[in-house]
Amino acid sequence: MRKKLVITIDGPAGAGKSTVSKILANKLDYVYLDTGALYRALAYKALKLKIEFEDPFALKSLCSDTEVILKNIGGQMKVYVDGEDVEEKIRTEEVGLAASKISAFAVVREKLLELQRKAGGQGGIVAEGRDMGSVVFTNADYKFYLDATFEERTKRRHKELLLKGKPSEYKSIQKDMMERDKQDKEREIAPLKAPEGGIKIDSDNLSIEEVVEKIISNISVGSP
Ligand code: DC
């Protein structure tokens, strides 16, 4: 039997992780795990309940009172919060920024850690996030760190939102992106960083397909 690998892809917001991971998982017939969606899901509920992001006690109650589950829908792990499919609602800049804020707290990270490990336990997974290679799947078969310049990532995010028909102002995306980079990289627990032994890919001058090809050229899935 061919070994089912664990492949991790980390990197900052707007580096192209989601698109690349989805295509890669599809090509390998693996499951795609978007771990940012888990943090976004909790942030969505925090916003709904108007919880103070900096209040560890409120976050602790939020974590103990919220059921977050993952369901494999056609090879993609979808997040449900208290039984609600939140996929569409969590894809806003507001939720992304809130997710970045609450993800700095240990209680939040602990709640989501086991869920992620369980999803990847059997292998056959492409897991994407900030700490996949450095914390969650330290024994992953292949670790990648996808990056691009700040300008390029801001441009991509702006374009992506416009294409989705969502209102987007370049200046405000720039501001949010800067704040998110700072929060994700400077937090004490599981900060965003290239994992040890990971392969770094700078996607500034590469198309999505070229990034996927680069990743595939670095992995060996073994013979059936
Ligand atoms: O990938 P994303 O933009 O959907 O992630 C939203 C936020 O969630 C991100 O800014 C930081 C947090 N996050 C995290 O701390 N660890 C992960 N593995 C994934 C996301």
Nearest CA to ligand 1 atom 4: 36
Contact between residue 117 and residue 6 where contact means Cβ atoms under 8 Å apart: no
What single-letter DSSP state applies at residue 94?
A: H
Beta carbon of 47 within 6 Å of any ligand 1 atom: no
pLDDT band at 221 (very low <50, low <70, confident <90, very high): confident
Q: Give 101 Cα–ligand 1 centroid separation in angstroms.
A: 10
What single-letter DSSP state applies at residue 73?
A: E
Question: What's the pLDDT tens digit per position in 126-181?
Answer: 999 999 999 999 999 999 999 999 999 999 999 988 998 888 899 999 999 999 99
Q: What is the residue whose two structure tokens read 């070994």?
A: 3
Helices (H) and strands (E) in the chain, counts: 8, 8
- Measured in degrees and rounded to the nearest 5, phi and psi for residue 201 equal -125, 125
Nearest CA to ligand 1 atom 10: 100
Beta carbon of 195 within 6 Å of any ligand 1 atom: no
DSSP-derived pairing of the beta strands 125-129 and 31-34: parallel
Instruction: Mark 138-148 as b/e (b = at least 16 C-beta within 10 Å).
Output: eebbbbbbbbb
**CB-based contacts of 17, cutoff 8 Å, min separation 6:** 9, 10, 11, 128, 129, 146
Nearest CA to ligand 1 atom 16: 130
Which amino acid, residue 65?
A: D
Tell me what pLDDT residue 224 has.
Answer: 47
Measured from the Cβ of residue 86, the count of other Cβ atoms closer than 10 Å reads: 21
Domains and CATH numbers, the chain: 6-206 (3.40.50.300)
- How much is the average pLDDT of 62-66? 97
Beta carbon of 134 within 6 Å of any ligand 1 atom: no
Q: Give 223 Cα–ligand 1 centroid separation in angstroms.
A: 34
The pTM is what?
0.94
Question: What's the pLDDT tens digit per position in 191-212?
Answer: 999 999 999 999 999 999 999 9
Beta carbon of 109 within 6 Å of any ligand 1 atom: no
Give one DSSP letter per residue of 150-200, joined into a string.
Answer: HHHHHHHHHHHHHHTT----HHHHHHHHHHHHHHHHH-SSS---PPTTPEE
**CB-based contacts of 194, cutoff 8 Å, min separation 6:** 10, 145, 147, 200
Is the per-residue pLDDT at 25 higher than 90? yes
138 to each of 4, 133, 144, 174, 214, how far by Cα in Å? 16, 5, 12, 32, 22
Tell me what pLDDT residue 126 has.
Answer: 97
Tell me what pLDDT residue 20 has.
Answer: 98
Beta carbon of 36 within 6 Å of any ligand 1 atom: yes
Q: Give 73 Cα–ligand 1 centroid separation in angstroms.
A: 21
* Choice from 18, 42, 184, 192 to test ligand 1 binding pocket (greatest atom count within 8 A of CB): 184
